[in-house]
């Protein structure tokens, strides 16, 4: 046995003793204890624990990696890939809690820790991926995977490890590896600064109103705005916070046009206000470093590197889809603006429709054309009832039951926890944490987290997942009411959670939502469908005062208006996706983000009445990490699959068909990354996805074939046929 290997084992033993001593004062280094395979010790964690815990865990993880790489035994699945799956367990738990803290409980003190540690964590990753001895062992197993008696899942794991290492630079020479590590560390610091700048604007910018400036606003919004003001000590005032959940409804209902303009500009200019919190210079540097890294790794651009392992495969394929939908979307916007302008002219408003008018006049047109007032719909959208509706859907489709638990520590009193069990076997499946409300220190938007991935490597380990939102509390004596759009988002994020909860794999690297970027949104977008099913609406869309279910005629109006305003919704999204892709295909050009955004949108023919859903200076999907960089197109790519997949249920007779639900679980939700996603989808659907369903869902004009092979436009289709194919 080699001296190096023995020294490494001794160091690991020493570190384990040191860990035990440190854990007496640092809960982040303690094993997760308590019920349900252990839970995060949120009740004990403080900001001052993070840095020393991370430093200790990083050292331990690196020594574990060195023990694997210097093991003198012949490399095999167990002593290499199995060992890698077990390595760094303490470190992985700490970075999970750190990520939760940064998204939900950020503070100036914690942000200092983030800035210091982000480059160090990037350096650790590079030390692992650039470990030549380790890669040679992985490569040996990968090359022999078809001859070594491995299971299908083990072969997939070997492929994923080998692929990840190669794409991270494992085959580079020493000089190139050092350069790559420098780039990754610099990017990690820039990502942290970018996200902190956006969070600063969201937390510190707001618009104050008096009572006489609240014209048109629903009482539920006024209650929430009054509470937001009271939280800041501004009693008797009303506040529009700098988050989508506050700004969007204000733009929809406020009759004060000057305030709508002010709120709109506040929101779209996050990260773009000049001074030390401005993100433009950071974006320029991030783009340059990404291009340098891509070239170093042998790729034409960052986009080509990012898309290699996706379903799209190439930026050209992704762009082809985006551009196909762009023209009909813009065409629809022109129709929508024409209708809104006519409405404003008829009122004698004396204005030309601007971006801060779009939601306001779209709502007016909706009311006139469909007799549909979404503020009326909101009276039936109680947050707690809809949450129960999601539980019911999970039971019908996946056989899950949710029971509240009080014995689990949480990081904030807003957070509630449910145990998930199988109604078939009665066994524990996992935990679901729900953090629904906006607050200072919490980033905007809605998301899902996996606190712990399901696995069966050393016995069954169940998952812990969370859903996080930014709903604004209203009158504490009344239930929280949310919009129809927010209800769809609620179901969307719960779809991610169900993807994690349904996981049934052996290896944590392949578990749950760890799938291709342009496939991960498919299960979540699919679940949005179940909100509008009659079973959910009749049981859970209950009026907050009378308790009566939403009337059938109101539901019919929602169905009739299902494709209304799709020009706006699709174009604002596509603009962001196209800018993302074009930024990362721009080569070595030094980019001024504001100028690039302006010029590119003009060349695309972007309607001036609409702004990107995520303007570049606050596009956290793309610039707070590599996450969705050159990948924001994924939502549309997944939407193609989603639109086709829901057809499997409607073709079978309904959204709760047990046979289709079982196939959905067996081939999509439970398999994680153990099989190629295209293969999994084909097993579920019996064929590859068809794209026509997407255009039908959005109600655009491109022709589709009817059952008699005649060609007709979507808008001319009977309503019941459109709704059958509706996403």
Residue-level pLDDT at 419:
98
CA distances from 627 to 485, 518, 621, 664, 710 (A): 24, 11, 6, 26, 43
Which two structure tokens, joined as six digits, stand for 489? 């988002």
State which of 556, 578, 596 marks the end of a domain: 556
How far is 664 from 522, CA to CA, in rounded Å?
A: 12
335-377 residue pLDDT tens: 999 999 999 999 999 999 999 999 999 999 999 999 999 999 9
- Same-domain pairing of 138 and 65: yes
- Same-domain pairing of 102 and 157: yes
- Does the residue 34 lie in any domain? yes
708 burial type by CB count under 10 A (0-12 exposed, 13-18 middle, 19+ buried): exposed
Residue indicated by tokens 């009817």: 706
How far is 522 from 684, CA to CA, in rounded Å?
A: 13
Task: Find the range with the poorest average confidence among 131-140, 285-294, 500-509, 642-651.
Answer: 642-651
Q: What is the mean pLDDT of residues 53-79?
A: 97
- Does the residue 369 lie in any domain? no
Of 238, 249, 251, nearest in space to 206 by CA: 238
Q: Are 452 and 438 in contact (CB under 8 A)?
A: no
Is the predicted pLDDT of residue 15 greater than 70, yes or no?
no
Of 153, 72, 302, 81, nearest in space to 671 by CA: 153
CA distances from 335 to 340, 342, 596 (A): 9, 11, 27
- Helix ranges (H only) for 561-619 are 566-584, 593-604
- Same-domain pairing of 449 and 528: yes
Q: How far is CA 259 from the centre of its chain?
A: 31
- Does the residue 699 lie in any domain? no
- Same-domain pairing of 28 and 151: yes
Residue-level pLDDT at 5:
66
DSSP code at position 457: B
- Same-domain pairing of 455 and 542: yes
CA distances from 443 to 33, 189, 446, 490, 624 (A): 29, 18, 9, 16, 12
299-330 residue pLDDT tens: 999 999 999 999 999 999 999 999 999 999 99
Q: Are 126 and 165 in contact (CB under 8 A)?
A: no
- Same-domain pairing of 138 and 41: yes
Max mean pLDDT among 4-18, 475-489, 670-684 falls in 670-684
Which two structure tokens, joined as six digits, stand for 14? 């020493």
Report the number of distinct structural domains present in the chain. 3
One-letter-per-residue 3-state SS of 273-298: CCHHHCCHHHHHHHHHHHHHHHHHCC
DSSP structure string for 606-654:
--TT---SS-GGG-HHHHSSSTTTTTTTHHHHHHHHHHHHHHHHHHHTS
- Same-domain pairing of 155 and 13: yes
- For the CA atoms of 623, 270, 594, 112, the dihedral, rounded to the nearest 10 degrees, stands at -50
CATH number of the domain that residue 509 is part of: 1.10.1370.40
493 is catalytic: yes
- Does the residue 674 lie in any domain? no
- Does the residue 571 lie in any domain? no
Is the predicted pLDDT of residue 104 greater than 50, yes or no?
yes
- Same-domain pairing of 88 and 133: yes
How far is 67 from 5, CA to CA, in rounded Å?
A: 6
How far is 332 from 685, CA to CA, in rounded Å?
A: 31
Which two structure tokens, joined as six digits, stand for 46? 């403080």
72 burial type by CB count under 10 A (0-12 exposed, 13-18 middle, 19+ buried): exposed
428-474 residue pLDDT tens: 999 999 999 999 999 999 999 999 999 999 999 999 999 999 998 88
DSSP code at position 451: E
Which of 455, 493, 597, 609 is the catalytic position? 493
State which of 122, 151, 171 marks the end of a domain: 171
- Same-domain pairing of 160 and 240: no
Q: What is the CA radius of gyration of the chain?
A: 26
Is the predicted pLDDT of residue 78 greater than 80, yes or no?
yes
How far is 582 from 596, CA to CA, in rounded Å?
A: 9
Number of Cβ within 10 Å of residue 513's Cβ equals: 23
- Does the residue 392 lie in any domain? yes
Domain, as residue range, for 421: 383-556
Residue-level pLDDT at 694:
81
CA distances from 524 to 47, 417, 496, 638 (A): 33, 21, 5, 9
Residue indicated by tokens 């290492």: 165
- Same-domain pairing of 462 and 404: yes
How far is 145 from 161, CA to CA, in rounded Å?
A: 12
Q: What is the mean pLDDT of residues 597-626?
A: 97
- Does the residue 358 lie in any domain? no
Q: Rounded to 5 degrees, what angle do the CA atoms 499, 482, 263 make? A: 110
- Does the residue 48 lie in any domain? yes
Strand partners, 430: 420, 463
Of 697, 567, 581, 711, nearest in space to 320 by CA: 581
H helix or E strand, kind and range, residue 153: helix 152-167
Measure CA of the first residue to CA of the last residue in the chain; give whole Å.
61
- Same-domain pairing of 392 and 537: yes
How far is 362 from 75, CA to CA, in rounded Å?
A: 63
218-252 residue pLDDT tens: 999 999 999 999 999 999 999 999 999 999 999 99
How far is 695 from 727, CA to CA, in rounded Å?
A: 10
Q: Rounded to 5 degrees, what angle do the CA atoms 278, 571, 648 make? A: 125
State which of 556, 571, 602 marks the end of a domain: 556
How far is 4 from 10, CA to CA, in rounded Å?
A: 10
Number of Cβ within 10 Å of residue 423's Cβ equals: 11
- For the CA atoms of 502, 507, 513, 514, the dihedral, rounded to the nearest 10 degrees, stands at -170
Residue-level pLDDT at 474:
80
Which two structure tokens, joined as six digits, stand for 213? 């400036």
- Same-domain pairing of 125 and 238: no
In percent, the amount of the chain with pLDDT more than 70 equals 93
Q: Are 387 and 542 in contact (CB under 8 A)?
A: no
What is the pTM (predicted TM-score) of this model? 0.92
């Amino acid at each position: 046995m080699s001296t190096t290997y023995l020294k490494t084992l001794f160091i690991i033993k020493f570190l384990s003793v040191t860990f035990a001593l440190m854990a007496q004062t640092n809960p982040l280094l303690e094993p997760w204890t308590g019920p349900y395979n252990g839970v995060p010790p949120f009740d004990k964690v403080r900001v001052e624990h993070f840095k020393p815990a991370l430093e200790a865990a990083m050292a331990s993880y690196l020594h574990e990696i060195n023990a694997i790489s210097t093991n003198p035994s012949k490399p095999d699945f167990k002593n290499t890939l199995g060992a890698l799956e077990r390595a760094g367990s303490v470190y992985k738990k700490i970075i999970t809690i750190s990520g939760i803290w940064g998204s939900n409980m950020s503070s100036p003190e914690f942000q200092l820790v983030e800035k210091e540690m982000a480059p160090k964590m990037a350096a650790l990753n590079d030390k692992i991926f650039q470990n030549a001895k380790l890669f040679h062992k992985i490569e040996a197993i990968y090359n022999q995977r078809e001859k070594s008696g491995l299971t299908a899942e083990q072969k997939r794991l070997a492929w994923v490890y080998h692929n990840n290492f190669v794409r991270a630079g494992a085959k580079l020479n020493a000089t190139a590896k050092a350069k790559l590590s420098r780039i990754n560390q610099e990017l990690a610091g820039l990502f942290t600064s970018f996200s902190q700048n956006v969070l600063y604007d969201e937390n510190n910018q707001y618009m104050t109103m008096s009572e006489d400036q609240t014209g048109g606003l629903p009482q539920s919004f006024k209650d929430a705005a009054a509470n937001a003001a009271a939280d800041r000590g501004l009693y008797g005032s009303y506040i529009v916070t700098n988050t989508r959940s506050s700004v969007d409804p204000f733009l929809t209902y406020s009759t004060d046009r000057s305030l709508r303009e002010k709120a709109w500009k506040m929101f779209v200019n996050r990260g773009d206000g000049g001074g030390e919190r401005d993100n433009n210079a950071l974006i320029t540097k991030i783009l340059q470093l990404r291009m340098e890294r891509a070239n170093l790794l042998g790729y034409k651009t960052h986009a080509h590197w990012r898309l290699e392992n996706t379903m799209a495969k190439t930026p050209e394929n992704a762009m082809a889809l985006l551009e196909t939908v762009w023209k009909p979307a813009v065409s629809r916007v022109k129709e929508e603006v024409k209708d809104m302008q006519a409405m404003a002219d008829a009122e004698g408003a004396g204005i030309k429709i601007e971006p801060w008018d779009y939601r306001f006049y779209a709502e007016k047109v909706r009311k006139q054309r469909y007799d549909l007032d979404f503020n009326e719909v909101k009276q039936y959208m109680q947050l707690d009832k809809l949450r129960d509706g999601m539980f019911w859907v999970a039971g019908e489709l996946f056989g899950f039951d949710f029971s509240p638990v009080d014995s689990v520590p949480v990081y904030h009193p807003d957070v509630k926890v449910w145990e998930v069990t199988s109604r078939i076997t009665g066994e524990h499946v996992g935990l679901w944490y729900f953090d629904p409300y906006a607050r200072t220190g919490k980033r905007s938007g809605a998301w899902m987290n996996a606190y712990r991935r399901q696995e069966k490597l050393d016995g069954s380990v169940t998952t812990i997942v969370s859903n996080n939102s930014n709903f604004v509390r209203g009158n504490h004596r009344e239930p929280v009411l949310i919009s129809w759009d927010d209800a769809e988002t609620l179901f969307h994020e719960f779809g991610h959670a169900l993807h994690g909860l349904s996981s049934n794999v052996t290896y944590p690297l392949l578990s749950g939502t760890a799938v291709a970027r342009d496939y991960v949104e498919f299960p979540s977008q699919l679940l949005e469908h179940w909100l509008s099913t009659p079973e959910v609406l009749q049981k859970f869309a209950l009026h907050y005062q009378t308790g009566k279910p939403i009337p059938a005629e109101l539901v019919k109006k929602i169905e009739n208006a299902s494709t209304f305003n799709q020009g706006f919704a699709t174009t604002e999204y596509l603009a962001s996706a196209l800018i993302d892709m074009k930024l990362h295909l721009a080569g070595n050009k030094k980019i001024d983000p504001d100028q690039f955004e302006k010029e590119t949108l003009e060349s695309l023919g972007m309607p001036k009445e609409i702004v990107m859903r995520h303007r570049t200076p606050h596009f956290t999907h793309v610039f707070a990490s590599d996450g969705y960089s050159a990948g924001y197109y994924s939502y549309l790519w997944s939407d193609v699959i989603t639109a086709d997949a829901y057809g499997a249920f409607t073709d079978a007779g309904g959204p709760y068909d047990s046979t289709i639900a079982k196939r959905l679980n067996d081939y999509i939700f439970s398999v994680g990354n153990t099989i190629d996603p295209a293969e999994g989808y084909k097993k579920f659907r019996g064929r590859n996805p068809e794209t026509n369903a997407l255009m039908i869902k959005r109600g655009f004009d491109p022709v589709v074939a009817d059952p008699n092979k005649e060609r007709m436009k979507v808008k001319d289709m009977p309503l019941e046929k459109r709704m059958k194919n509706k996403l």
